[in-house]
Amino acid sequence: MTTRMPCPYPYSAQPQYRNCFPPFPKGQVCPTYPCRHTECRDKDWLEHLELTLKLPQLAELIERCYFQPDLYNRVNLIHIPNQVWKLVMFGVYRQAKIHAKWPEIVRQVQTHALWRQEALKLAAEQGRRHLQAKQPEFLGQGNLSPPPGTRVVRDNLGRYFLVPETWGQPPNNRGSSGQCKKEPQEVIIID
């Protein structure tokens, strides 16, 4: 019997802060975190993200103390609880580690963005092929055909629309634009 370890990033792992895409429906996420949909897997970066979600004011103070050393010295002189001061000191140390690894973190985020873009294109293409497999029956290749006075139009994304027969055709002496000036009153998207 195996036991699951608790997630070290309980705030970041919540569905509203994650962006797991197909095959997961909206609102569902991968069972583990960090997962393949996480932009960067650097431990310090993930811990800082967790702190930002859990205690945003403390995360902002840590960032300001790291980038403004004079503020760090002033905060040191202010009477704050020892436990909070330890968190600030550790956070500034972690910011220094993140700053030292910044080119690698940026590379991971950029690589993830390219992978995500390709994965979404692939998912969209698979969805388009799935929808096209449903369409032949309606397009006159089966028993069904469009209702009288209508025709089926396919857009550049591969979607099919049911429009009036006169939509998009030149009008009869009603203008020089060469296109019908009236948009269809009702366009039905076929699923």
Show the tokens assigned to 95.
Answer: 């910011």
Is residue 150 in some structural domain? no
Distances (CA, A) of 82 to 58, 88, 102: 14, 10, 30
Domain that holds residue 42: 15-135
Is residue 66 in some structural domain? yes
Is residue 169 in some structural domain? no
Burial of 3 (0-12, 13-18, 19+ CB in 10 A): exposed
For the chain, what's the residue count? Answer: 191
How many domains does the chain divide into?
1
The model's pLDDT over 5-62, given as tens digits with 9 standing for 90+, comes to 677 888 888 888 888 876 666 668 888 888 888 889 999 999 999 999 999 999 998 9
The model's pLDDT over 53-109, given as tens digits with 9 standing for 90+, comes to 999 999 998 998 899 888 877 877 777 788 888 888 899 999 999 999 999 999 999
Helix (H) or strand (E) holding 13: none
How far apart are alpha carbons 149 and 131 in whole angstroms?
24
Computed over every residue of the chain, the mean pLDDT equals: 76
